[in-house]
Chain A
Amino acid sequence: MINYSLDQNIAIITWAMTSSPMNVLNDESIPQFEAALEQAFADESVKGIIITSAKPEFVAGADLKMILRNNDKDPAEMLKVTAELNRIFRRMETSGKPIVAAMNGTALGGGYEICLACHHRIALNSPKSVIGLVEVTIGLLPGGGGTQRLPRMIGIQAALSLMLEGKKAGVPEALKLGMVDEIADSPDDMMTKAKAWIAANPTPLRPWDEIDRKTGKIVGKDNFKVPGGNVQSAVGAQTFGAGTAMLMEKTKGNYPAPLAIMACVYEGLQVNMDRAIMIEARYFVQVATSKVAKNMIQTLFLGMNEANKGISRPKEVPKTDVKKVGVLGAGLMGAGIAYVSAQAGIEIVLKDISTEAAEKGKDYSRQLLQKGVERGKVDPGKVEGILNRIKPTDSVQDLQGCDLIIEAVFENRALKAQVTKDAEPMLATGGVFASNTSSLPISGLAQASARLENFIGIHFFSPVDKMALVEIIVGQHTSEYALAVAMDYVRKIRKTPIVVNDARGFYTSRCFGTYSAEGMEMLKEGVNPVLIENGGKDAGMPVGPLAVTDEVALDLVYKIAEQGVQDGVVREDDTRYQVSKTFVDLGRTGKKARAGFYDYADDRSKKLWPGLQTLFPQAEQQPTLEEVKTRLLYRQAIEAVRCLEENVVRTKLDADIGSILGWGFPAYTGGALSFVDFVGIETFVTTLDRLADTYGERFRPTATLRERAGRKTLV
């Protein structure tokens, strides 16, 4: 609820919602907020208004469920949401009474837009507070006047860069940027300053407003001069011309929100504020009713929150707390696991065959921490504590009492079996043994264990400190308890877990492999490799399929494919097998060899290897860019569909999150399975049939998928 109180002649409006953990703008709070404002406007004794919050945060933003609810409806419904907010915000600005935002904590999105609609902003200087218009990160744009007020305050370029990045600024930075006007050292100081400002500014007027001579009312000023230059100026030409190009380079045109933000600023700042907010509202409705916004909110916001809270964790197992972790193998993965765990306050035993090797693994943490300190991201006072938690060793005995041991040794079954046998006895009672394998079936590895039920896969991604995803693999005998321990651990190190069942390549490696494979299929068909690579990137993948194969390494691709051939699950004429074999024979094993599909220069630049033209002569008839994009995305999506049907991945959400965080499947689709909704399940099936007819059975829709298409829903 929203509290109203009077402090002498100042109305204090305090956000203190009880229906949600944080203050949010929604159907419940908006009318209450307005009622409180109207009460203050109507009370002649009230000389000014302070808006603040009773929670640690100010206001966290708009309730995204409210946006989702209106996503599929008539645009008029979404327009009501934004128009309602804008009407209230504009009334705040033009009521004639001074309003101060006393920002006691984080103010994001719509929460910050409340502050922008005030005449003055005072932020409490708390290190935990962040301020910003972050809507773009979930496919939206600031729809409460943010695209109009911020550039009018701090200039077009500065505002655009904040809004396009969705930047969250700390309080001192926000002050420097002009996002807030003052900062306060304590809540009392904040309120005192707010009252002082009200006393000094009894009839405030924003620079973009003026008093209409005839009516005496506050109205938007025509010909407002934007600080730093108007839209129609040399600066404007640069900002909107080259700025749009830079934006397109980043989004490839796949994300409508950033472009809409640019358009809001371009169009809105050429008219007065009263008209400008209407322009913003139209763009907001277009973007908020888009499939991109819907899918991004569902997966990246609501879904990610659920995953991070551990929605896939077995509920009946009581909460566990991993305090001591053993890491076997101090290579890149082991060192990374040690680093993120130690940072989360976990005691680490980092074991390798020699103390030197283990110490080298610990050096990795030293380097990362030092970099962090240099960049101001790590508190120098905490460095020693973190490092002290990592004990490098060559002795198995030091693993005594670990709650969890994660082996991160080479992908070799015999070696893994050996280290499992050696280390497992050192586990504390109820301890869990995990393998960080990326490809070897967990149930097979578990055979080395004396406690099959406590053996699990915890698959980290490289580099561990940057990659947010952890793929937890449940083997045939893995217990619910072991799963709970693994999930509690992943939550403790603040990574996002997905849970998958044991199968060749698990989920992420298997689906990701198809991206690389389809690139090779096209190469074999004689498609221009530049077109293949651009097709991947333009579809929204972080790198092209050939470049990423180079990064994975062609000898590894070959090794896995060869294993598949031996096991009888991969045919000998398989393109991945054939192409990787050719390259391994040529000694072009990828980026590490500085020769693969690309040639790698000393300056870290790369160029497609000219020899590709000889190996795979380009066909006369080249596909369109759209066709290349379609093949690359559909191939991954149909594999994800198969994984869901085969119960390799357990939920649609895990499949989506795993695809975006694990191998960079484009976020605008909502993930590899939401992609089906994104294009529409009927289109999905029809297109797959066409692709299968043209390029091969790998695209053929499954019977279940066809049946679901008939019911028009994937799950």
Chain B
Amino acid sequence: MAEAFIYDAVRTPRGRGKSDGALHDVQPIQLLTTVLREIRDRNQLDTALVDDIIMGCVTPIGEQGADIARTAALEAGYAESVAGVQLNRYCSSGLEAINMAGAYVMSGQVDAIVAGGVESMSRVPMGSDGGALFMNPQIVARHKIVPQGISADLIATKYGYSRQDVDTFAAESYRRAVDAQAGNRFARTLVPIKDDIGMTLLDRDEGVRPGTTVESLGKLKPAFAALGQMGLDALALLKYAQFDTINHVHHAGNSSQIVDGAAGVLIGSKAFGEKSGLKPRARIKAFAIVGSEPTIMLTGPIPATHKVLKRAGMTISDIDLFEVNEAFAAIPLLFMDEFGVDHSQLNVNGGAIALGHPLGATGAIISATLIDELERSGKQFGLATLCIGGGMGIATIFEQINF
């Protein structure tokens, strides 16, 4: 089987996903086009060598609809022969795109793909695409489908994470993100977004708030308690009858931020690298996808990680660094507890709580962050994992190959 290599990764800064966010007047196609152009330009890439563009996008309607990946390939000025496909595996879409690209390359049927994702959450609101999973009464009732915030609070309830625990984790995410920005650690991957007349709109992740502490987070009200009162706690507890209430600990400050952003990762075979004159940065060692219990929904990283480690013939101690998407603080906490992983190895530059989670792109962003950090710290193996709506988990092991 051929190997799949990572040749480069580019991402936009993440703008706050509201109408006053820095990227709100930038169309999602512009975010994605910027990423594709940067990958081409800084690698002096002959785009005719690229077979396909695979882009995750979770709300592919409106201006994110109609196969935004192919639209971006055209708009970025890639060779006409470069195809494009949009996929949706909810929050893991960006990593799913990488895995799919990796699989294509490993199969020998494809030479190179740009994989990643895009989400302009300020312009195409999360959930605005509806979906039977969240709306069809029979499905909601049968499978006890609740909003993710309720699921996250159910995890906190089941595994005993207090408000203090989640706020402590979140404050640390902020602290690390502030340090990472100050230390310019995102520089290799991050490309500023400029407007049509060349003015920079945003060159850093907008949501990072220096000075965020456990105390300041402690003032925020639980975000999902009111929703829980509207029957949603009760619906979840029909399946989790061992609990009488759900402990609502998550809020805006310890959950991932809603943001706008895009990312792309250039993945190709060894031959592609040689032909393009590019040096590989990392290899895709193994990946796994798994379904998990859909009501608690967000515990998928645990079985996904077990699965990918088994596939790679590795143990948890073989992994040097982890990126566990901070959809909600309880998820990385659960991950650390289940695998005995120390916080010093996990999300070392902060995560989505401080930096933001542009749904379709995040999987690619945390993979890029992980590879950057493996290189910076001279480490070999990194594992990226995300929890996924509908009850799924994804995990990928990257191997950094330049020492």
Contacts and interface: CB of A to CB of B under 8 A. Distances in A.
Interface of A: 231-232, 234, 236-237, 240-250, 252-253, 259, 262-263, 266, 528, 530-531, 533-535, 538, 608, 622, 625, 628
Contact of A625 (B135, B241, B244): B241
Contact of B234 (A243, A248, A263): A248
Contacts of B235: 244-245, 248-249
A245 B136 CA distance: 11
B137 A263 contact: yes
Given A242-B231, A533-B244, A237 B238 contact: no
B231 A262 contact: no
Contacts of B130: 232, 236-237
A240 B232 CA distance: 12
Contacts of B241: 530-531, 534-535, 538, 625, 628
A300 B278 CA distance: 78
Query: Which 7 residue pairs spanning A and B have beta carbons closest together?
Result: A246-B231, A245-B231, A249-B234, A262-B137, A534-B241, A249-B231, A245-B235
Interface in B34-59: none
Given A246-B231, A247-B141, A530-B243, 18 more contacts: A231-B135, A242-B230, A243-B137, A244-B141, A244-B235, A248-B141, A248-B238, A249-B234, A250-B231, A259-B137, A263-B138, A530-B242, A530-B244, A533-B244, A534-B237, A538-B238, A622-B242, A628-B241
B272 interface: no
Contacts of B230: 242, 245-246
A628 B242 CA distance: 11
Nearest to A537: B241
B135 A528 contact: no
Interface of B: 127-128, 130, 134-138, 140-141, 144, 146-147, 227, 230-232, 234-235, 237-238, 241-244
Nearest to B134: A241
20 contacts: A236-B135, A237-B130, A240-B135, A241-B134, A241-B140, A241-B147, A244-B137, A244-B140, A246-B230, A248-B141, A249-B234, A253-B141, A259-B137, A263-B137, A266-B136, A534-B241, A534-B244, A535-B241, A538-B238, A625-B241
A240 B231 contact: no
A240 B242 contact: no
B250 to A, nearest CB: 18
B238 A242 contact: no
A533 B242 CA distance: 9
Given A245-B234, A249-B231, A237 B127 contact: yes
- The residue among B130, B134, B137, B146 with the most chain A CB atoms within 10 A of its own CB is B137
A538 B238 CA distance: 7
A252 B231 CA distance: 11
Contact of A242 (B141, B227, B237, B242): B227
Contacts of B147: 241
A609 to B, nearest CB: 13
- The residue among A250, A252, A533, A534 with the most chain B CB atoms within 10 A of its own CB is A534
Contacts of B141: 244, 247-248, 253, 259
A628 B128 CA distance: 40
Contacts of A231: 135
A266 B237 CA distance: 25
Nearest to B135: A240
Nearest to B244: A530
Nearest to A267: B136
A250 B230 CA distance: 11
Contacts of A262: 137
Contact of B140 (A245, A250, A608): A245
A266 B138 CA distance: 10
Given A531-B241, A538-B238, A248 B134 contact: no
A410 B136 CA distance: 54
A87 to B, nearest CB: 26
Contacts of A248: 140-141, 144, 231, 234-235, 238
A237 B136 CA distance: 9
A509 to B, nearest CB: 28
A240 B237 contact: no
A241 B227 CA distance: 11
Contacts of B237: 534
B238 A253 contact: yes
A266 B130 CA distance: 12
Contacts of B135: 231, 236-237, 240-241, 266
A332 B227 CA distance: 39
Given A237-B127, A240-B135, A263-B138, A245 B242 contact: no
Contacts of B227: 242
A240 to B, nearest CB: 5
Contacts of B243: 530
A247 B231 CA distance: 8
A247 B141 CA distance: 9
A218 B138 CA distance: 32
Contacts of A622: 242
Contacts of A249: 231, 234-235
Contacts of A245: 140, 146, 230-232, 234-235
Contacts of A533: 244
A625 B239 CA distance: 8
A231 B136 CA distance: 10
B238 A240 contact: no
Nearest to A234: B128
B231 A266 contact: no
A263 B139 CA distance: 10
A232 B237 CA distance: 28
Nearest to A261: B137
B232 A242 contact: yes
A76 to B, nearest CB: 23
A531 B242 contact: yes
A259 B128 CA distance: 24
Contacts of B140: 240-241, 244-245, 248
- The residue among A231, A242, A250, A528 with the most chain B CB atoms within 10 A of its own CB is A242
Nearest to A532: B241
Contacts of A263: 136-138
A277 B140 CA distance: 23
Nearest to B128: A234
A528 B242 CA distance: 7
A469 B147 CA distance: 41
Nearest to B133: A241
Given A245-B146, A245-B232, A608-B244, A252 B136 contact: no
- The residue among B141, B227, B237, B242 with the most chain A CB atoms within 10 A of its own CB is B141
A242 B244 CA distance: 20
A245 B230 CA distance: 7
B244 to A, nearest CB: 5
Given A248-B234, A249-B234, A240 B244 contact: no
A237 B243 CA distance: 28
- The residue among A234, A241, A243, A622 with the most chain B CB atoms within 10 A of its own CB is A241
Contacts of A252: 238
Nearest to A262: B137
A531 B243 CA distance: 7
Contacts of A237: 127, 130, 134-135
- The residue among A231, A234, A237, A608 with the most chain B CB atoms within 10 A of its own CB is A237
Nearest to B243: A530
B136 to A, nearest CB: 6
A503 B282 CA distance: 82
A263 B146 CA distance: 18
A560 B291 CA distance: 53
Contacts of B138: 259, 263
B294 to A, nearest CB: 14
A535 B234 CA distance: 13
A28 B140 CA distance: 41
B246 to A, nearest CB: 12
